[in-house]
Amino acid sequence: MTSEYNVFRYSVIMAAKKVSDNAVEIIETVLPDINKEDVTTHSYMEIDDFNIYRQQIIEELNPLIKYIDFKLIHGNVLANIIEPLNIIPMQVLYDAFRYHAKSNYNKLIRFRGCNKAILVWDETACGSNLVIKDNGCVVCAANCVYGCQTVRSKFGFSDTGIYEWNIIIEKYCANSWIGICEAVNVDYEKWAGVQANAWVLGSNGSCYNNFIETIGYCPPFGEGDIITVHLNMNERSCAFSINGRRYPPVSAWKNLPTKLYPVVSLFRPGQFRIQLH
């Protein structure tokens, strides 16, 4: 997934390349790489030479601005890094700031590429008796008769942002489990709730992690129900909705890891579908 800030940074670098090599070096200095440091705490670095190239960069960048959604960039980055460059029309920045102010969007960081294509089950991280079908969107436990097995999604969510996805219970099994897990030290031949690196909500309404049960989180759910997972990577918390009714973050799940994947556990005749919320 590519952050909108990186889309902006790449666009400015491409514009600078049409000006001079020195302009590129300056842009790479004043626009830090989000993959190497936390840009939300970064401050603008004044470089006198940038004034020489500013107008030329603006002219090269202008045709690209319409393809960048500044509302998807963290408010601190807009204020402390992008605005001081004075290369983006103030109306564009004003619209982004206004959107943040109205929606408290400073905590909601979206990513390009975060679409339904990334939410598919991973055949390499899947119990041996589970079957993945429908282009990776559905997992079926028709052959799983000796207890729950587990599967996680192919792609995970990390660092910051709020991510939401649905699990649709197309065919119910007596023990259905939905939640999140890490990519390491997960045994997909077993139920996720007994594992230290998995956090799941069960169809009985209780939550589990490493054998620890949180009883009565929500009412039981079953066939045809839609369970929405609300993963807040800013606060390292997770909450669930059942058919649109949202419940609070699971209080027992503190300080979740920095990268997590959608996960389910099921057995015969269960069949679950994953999709973006």
pLDDT 10s digits, 28-80? 888 887 665 555 555 556 666 788 899 999 999 999 998 888 888 888 888 88
Please provide the average confidence, as pLDDT, over all residues in the chain. Answer: 87
Using the predicted structure, report yes or no on whether residue 108 has a pLDDT greater than 80: no
Spatial neighbors of 181 by CB under 8 A, at least 6 apart, are 150, 152, 192, 195, 197, 198, 199, 260, 261, 263
Domain span at residue 173 reads 116-276
pLDDT > 60? residue 105: no
Q: What pairing do the DSSP bridges indicate for beta strands 226-232 and 131-133?
A: unpaired
Give yes or no for a contact between 225 and 82, defined as CB atoms under 8 angstroms apart.
no
Q: Which two tokens stand for residue 175?
A: 């023990």
Tokens at 204, concatenated: 């009985």
The pLDDT tens digits of the residues spanning 3-13 come to: 788 889 999 99
DSSP string, 67-130: T--GGGS-HHHIIIIIHHH--S-HHHHHHHHHHHHHHTGGG---EET-SGGG--EEEEEE-TT-
Whether the Cβ atoms of residue 139 and residue 169 lie closer than 8 Å to each other: no
pLDDT band at residue 2, thresholds of 50, 70 and 90?
low
- Domain identity same for 175 and 265: yes
Residues 103 and 214 in one domain: no
The CATH number assigned to the domain holding 217 equals 2.60.120.920
Contacts of 241 (CB under 8 A, 6+ apart): 227, 228, 230, 247
Say what the pLDDT of residue 166 is: 94
Q: What pLDDT score was predicted for residue 116? A: 47
Q: State whether 184 and 264 are in the same domain.
A: yes
- Of 264, 212, 221, 258, nearest to 241 (Cα)? 221
How many structural domains are present in the chain? 2
Residue pair 142/249 in contact (Cβ under 8 Å)? The answer is no
Residue 251's closest CA among 263, 239, 233?
239
CB 187 within 8 A of CB 193: no
140 with 262, same domain?
A: yes
Same domain? For 193 and 79 the reply is no
Question: Of 54, 84, 108, which marks where a domain is finished?
Answer: 108
